Amino acid sequence: MNNKTHSDTETLPARHPGSDEGRGGQGKPSVLLENVSLCYRRSANFFLSRNRNLRKNKGFWALRDVDLTIYEGETLGVIGRNGSGKSTISMIISGSLKPDSGTVTVNGRVQLLALGIGFRPTMTGRENVMISGCILGLSRREMKAKMKEIEEFAELGDFFDEPVKIYSAGMRSRLGFAVSTAVNPDILILDEVMTTGDAAFRRKANKRMEEMRARTKTVIIVSHNPGQLREQCSRVVWLEKGHLVMDGGAGEVLPVYEEFCRNPGKWRLENNNLLLRP
């Protein structure tokens, strides 16, 4: 793998190791990222190819030297501002992207659920459920057996047999969550999908995630919403400009993140050990 160098000297919050609060250190690792970096070329050509040689030194660093271990049975939150690397890290864990450097170890089957990804808009909800299951390696017989459960959980009514292109964001989120959890992945990644939909569905979704944790499944929730992560996660990692800034219990990380967001410039000045990008 190619190592990248750059001369960006923007100041960032210092890396804060946090405490062991909220970490599932008693379980086995489900995901291990070691010194992971990924650089996007500032050109549309990057998105037309997965060839890592197209990424140039003058590109945008989506992730930089990230070390992270996620354990079985954890519900981990990933928070950060726009452009912090949240979606990039979820795509790397799912295998949709390959890092430029570092190693990624994933133990188990991963399902990534992100708004706008995975559904064919001209097909019905029912048809998309069948296709999603086949992509994940389930047979048509297995998906037919799960269809009623998925239809009832998604609460789409007659829209279940209508094209997905007419669905609202909340309807797509409910359908995606119902499919993703019904196929029983070992690692479920929810990328900004649980911020839509009504409160009753979110409560039902939280209950299903609790059931997954009880079966020693791993859930990763990517969000910009501290309230959501405070409610659903015991451990949170904070990303800023591609760097992992803080890792610890939700009650420890989220107040610091919220303070930073209120006035980033003031926060940096008040904290002595500023991290300079190399």
Q: In this structure, are 269 and 204 located in the same domain?
A: yes
Alpha-carbon torsion, ordered 183, 187, 191, 192, to 10 deg:
80
What tokens were used for 265? 């410039």
Q: How far apart are CA 167 and CA 160, in angstroms?
A: 10
Question: In this predicted model, what pLDDT tens digit does every residue of 11-33 receive, in sequence order?
Answer: 455 455 454 555 544 579 999 99
Q: In this structure, are 122 and 240 located in the same domain?
A: no
Residue 188's H or E segment, with its range, is: strand 187-191
- Residue 229 resides in a domain: yes
Q: Domain span at residue 76? A: 59-109+185-277
Which DSSP string corresponds to 1-35?
----------EEPPPB---STT--TTS-EEEEEEE
Q: In this structure, are 178 and 143 located in the same domain?
A: yes
Q: How many domains does the chain have?
A: 2
**pLDDT at residue 184, rounded to an integer:** 80
pLDDT along the chain (278 residues), means of 10: 36 50 68 95 54 57 95 94 92 93 94 74 94 82 93 94 92 87 86 72 82 82 90 93 94 95 85 47
Give the CATH number of the domain where residue 75 resides. 3.40.50.300
Question: In this predicted model, what pLDDT tens digit does every residue of 131-171 receive, in sequence order?
Answer: 888 877 788 899 999 999 999 999 999 999 999 999 998 89
Residue 260's H or E segment, with its range, is: helix 250-262
**pLDDT at residue 147, rounded to an integer:** 95
Place of tokens 């609060």: 21
Q: In a 3-state reduction of DSSP, which class is residue 65?
A: strand
> Can you give the pTM of this predicted structure?
0.75
Measuring CA to CA, how many Å separate 53 from each of 45, 97, 197? Answer: 12, 13, 40
Q: How far apart are CA 60 and CA 15, in angstroms?
A: 20
Closest CA to 221 of 188, 260, 247, 253: 188
Residue 131's H or E segment, with its range, is: helix 125-135
Looking at 166, 184, 202, which one is the last position of a domain?
A: 184
Which DSSP string corresponds to 204-240?
HHHHHHHHHHHTT-EEEEEES-HHHHHHH-SEEEEEE
- Residue 39 resides in a domain: no
**pLDDT at residue 7, rounded to an integer:** 34
Q: In this structure, are 256 and 189 located in the same domain?
A: yes
